[in-house]
Amino acid sequence: MSALRTVHVLPDHVANQIAAGEVVERPASAVKELVENALDAGATRVRIEVEDGGRKLIRIVDDGCGMTREDAVTALLRHATSKIAAAEDLTAIGTLGFRGEALPSIRSVSRFRLRTRTHDHDEGTVIRADGAEEPVIEPIGAPPGTEIVVEELFFNVPARRKFLKQPASEMSRIADLVDQLALAWPGVGFVLVHGGRVMADYPAEGPSSRGAQGRMLAVFGREIARRLYRVELTMGALEARGFLSEPTLQRPNATMLHLVVNGRPVRDKVIQHAVTSAYGEMMDRGRYPVGVLELCVPPELVDVNVHPAKAEVRFAETGQIHSVVQRAIRLMLAAAPWARPGEGEADVATARPLLPPIVETALPQTLPLRFAEDEREPTVPDLSPPLPGWITTAAPPVAATAATSPAIAAPDTPEAPGFFMRLEYIGQVGRCFLVCQSPSALHLIDQHAAHERVSYERLKRAWLSGSIPSQRLLFPDQLTLEPALARAAEQHAEVLQRMGFDVAPFGARDFVVTEVPAILQSKGANAVLVEVLSDLAHVGTSRGVEARLEHLLATLACHGSVRAGDKLEPEEARSLLKQMDGVELRANCPHGRPVLVSRPFDEVARWFGRT
């Protein structure tokens, strides 16, 4: 029997390191806590300097109110805060921070320095502390405001340090965070520097609505900002405001949909559902608009103390929140400003975008349904005797003994080898479906789903063999990307190259595209590249890319396949049928939609009362 353990109180530095496990998950978490403190201090300018993705250095400088010597010393104690004083204050929190855990937690796992001075004092204070060491406190000359330097994050917690991602991945998270805060606080100037290179510089905007417009332009870039429209509605004590995109500007995930509650960037399913439901059928399922939506809610009606990182909130009246968001967006959509473009330039705050909207480049309309390898006859044998009325001209000789094998599917079923090639092609209906017949059934084939499956299998084989074939553009395209996508383009340059894209930086957020996947034939390739980058923006490592590979290849296959509405000549339709026999899992496209619907002729006869 083990010895009885005694109960004891943990030393403060151990308790702080445990708290740091939740408060300071990674460098971006430290940046978030420190910048939020700067905003709570009334800063109008915040400078964030980072080295090695935040592992080596994080330096935050602000021009806020600063702290006295006594407050600076007290701020390093656990649960020390100036933002709440009693439990009742938790029911109406009006600041970003309030728990008093950030500074002591960050100090406990880093080589820490704090320099601060209030605006009404001539002398400042500097505090140095390495992990659990006793802090050194000295007077110092300093500008008004606060500077916090965090070096060698997790130097004394190696188990935590080894779980950090590569510097590029950690830096991407920090840059995303700065973008979110910049969109939520347009009246504050933000500068982000990594390794001496300025990655983002967002000057403070004025208090007017045009100030918010300027921040949209700075963060999203001109091409996106000119397709954003004002959302604004007040219902009682609730206010919804911001800028969201026209329905044709959409993304495959919610990365570029920024939600803000009382100045706090959040993730919230209620607001997100209200946004997507407001767009309704104007936007494809699983797609999201681009932009910023802020909710101003009385502090007593929202609980921000429900998540360790304060990234989620809970509303007292979710129905009212959903209603005001949905109604505000529907009012914007009802005006349909993109349907009536004006002449010249207008600003994003009016009924017109910054520039007349650009019609999305159409996706490829005529794509090759024949490939060099299709000229060879398929090697899969027809394992059954011909049936009456069955197309056999392209089928190879039959193996007489194979027909009786119990493992072989019936020849008149889609699972049978050579099934699609033997179908008798009748024609195309609705420029969407191929009508075929076999001896015993009528078959309708979705041309897009079928070609998408063929394209996906080809792309997958090409990826596994090394890289997807590309096509060099006669005239390189210049593309301006929003910050998150620009970072993804740099971080995943090798992945893009392997997918067939040659994308080179040409400035802070400008890129030159010289090669695109051959399957796209250059037309609409930039739109596909943006969608791929939207997916890659979530991925931090090569392992993450492999996990998303199916979705990435499905995106290429979808945009590189014939569409509903494309007219197919008979030889193109027959070539597609022939290609279908060369792929597995041919019952569905990569997104799960069925390729084929079959009805036996006796069932068709019953439709007409012939049985």
Residue range 183-227, pLDDT digits in tens = 999 999 999 999 998 989 999 987 655 558 889 989 988 888 888
Q: 57 with 90, same domain?
A: yes
In tens, the pLDDT along 98-110 reads 767 888 889 889 9
Q: How far apart are CA 96 and CA 35, in angstroms?
A: 10
Report yes or no on 488 lying in a domain: yes
In tens, the pLDDT along 447-496 reads 999 999 999 999 999 999 999 999 999 888 888 888 888 888 988 899 99
Report yes or no on 354 lying in a domain: no
Contact 517, 560 (CB under 8 A): yes
Q: 235 with 179, same domain?
A: no
Report yes or no on 227 lying in a domain: yes
Q: Please spell the DSSP secondary structure of 568-602, one letter per residue.
A: --HHHHHHHHHHHTT-SSTTB-TTS-BSEEEEEHH
pLDDT of 86: 67
pLDDT of 90: 64
Q: 467 with 523, same domain?
A: yes
The model's pTM: 0.72
Mean of pLDDT values over 533-560:
81
N-term to C-term CA, the chain = 83
Q: 193 with 257, same domain?
A: no
Q: 192 with 97, same domain?
A: yes
Q: Residue 252 burial by CB count (10 A; 0-12/13-18/19+): exposed, middle or buried?
A: middle
Q: 434 with 541, same domain?
A: yes
In tens, the pLDDT along 218-270 reads 998 888 888 899 999 999 999 999 999 999 888 888 889 999 999 999 989 99
- Give me the domain span that covers residue 523: 362-611
Q: Give the residue, 353 or 88, on which the prediction is more confident.
A: 88
Q: 82 with 30, same domain?
A: yes
Supply the CATH number for residue 157's domain: 3.30.565.10
Domain end among 306, 339, 372: 339
Q: How far apart are CA 470 and CA 468, in angstroms?
A: 6
Task: Return the biggest CA–CA distance within the chain.
Answer: 101
- Looking at the DSSP bridge assignments, the partners of residue 202 are 190
The tokens for 559 are 């945009």
Domain end among 284, 308, 339: 339
The tokens for 17 are 């390191």
Report yes or no on 406 lying in a domain: yes
Per the prediction, the chain carries an average pLDDT of: 81
Q: 381 with 252, same domain?
A: no
Domain end among 186, 202, 218: 202
Supply the CATH number for residue 382's domain: 3.30.1540.20
Report yes or no on 6 lying in a domain: no
Which of 499, 464, 462, 456 minimizes the C-alpha distance to 585?
456
- Give the list of residues 6+ apart from residue 262 with CB closer than 8 angstroms, or none: 94, 295, 296, 297, 299, 302
Q: 113 with 232, same domain?
A: no
- The count of C-alpha atoms lying within 13 angstroms of the C-alpha of 134, restricted to the half-sphere facing its C-beta, is 0
- Looking at the DSSP bridge assignments, the partners of residue 201 are 191
Contact 395, 417 (CB under 8 A): no
Q: Please spell the DSSP secondary structure of 379-394, one letter per residue.
A: SSPP-SPPPTT---TT
Q: 213 with 191, same domain?
A: no
Report yes or no on 3 lying in a domain: no
pLDDT of 88: 67
Share of the chain above pLDDT 90, in %: 47
pLDDT of 387: 41
Supply the CATH number for residue 328's domain: 3.30.230.10
21 φ, ψ to 5°? -60, -30
- Give the list of residues 6+ apart from residue 146 with CB closer than 8 angstroms, or none: 37, 38, 41, 60, 61, 62, 64, 66, 67, 114, 115, 116
pLDDT of 405: 40
Report yes or no on 352 lying in a domain: no
Q: How far apart are CA 89 and CA 82, in angstroms?
A: 12
- Looking at the DSSP bridge assignments, the partners of residue 228 are 245
Q: 72 with 197, same domain?
A: yes
- Looking at the DSSP bridge assignments, the partners of residue 600 are 441
Number of structural domains (the chain) is 3
Report yes or no on 353 lying in a domain: no
Q: 243 with 287, same domain?
A: yes
Q: Give the residue, 373 or 453, on which the prediction is more confident.
A: 453
- Give the list of residues 6+ apart from residue 608 with CB closer than 8 angstroms, or none: none
Per-residue confidence at 79, pLDDT binned at 50, 70, 90? confident
pLDDT of 479: 87
Highest mean pLDDT among 148-152, 251-255, 372-376, 581-585 belongs to 148-152
Mean of pLDDT values over 421-433:
93
- Give the list of residues 6+ apart from residue 392 with CB closer than 8 angstroms, or none: 382, 386, 422
Q: How far apart are CA 21 and CA 263, in angstroms?
A: 25
- Give the list of residues 6+ apart from residue 586 with CB closer than 8 angstroms, or none: 414, 420, 450, 453, 580, 595
Contact 259, 288 (CB under 8 A): no
Rounded to the nearest 5 degrees, what angle is found at the Cα of 324, between the Cα atoms of 323 and 327?
A: 80
Helix (H, G, I), strand (E, B) or coil at 78: coil
**Identity of the residue numbered 162:** K
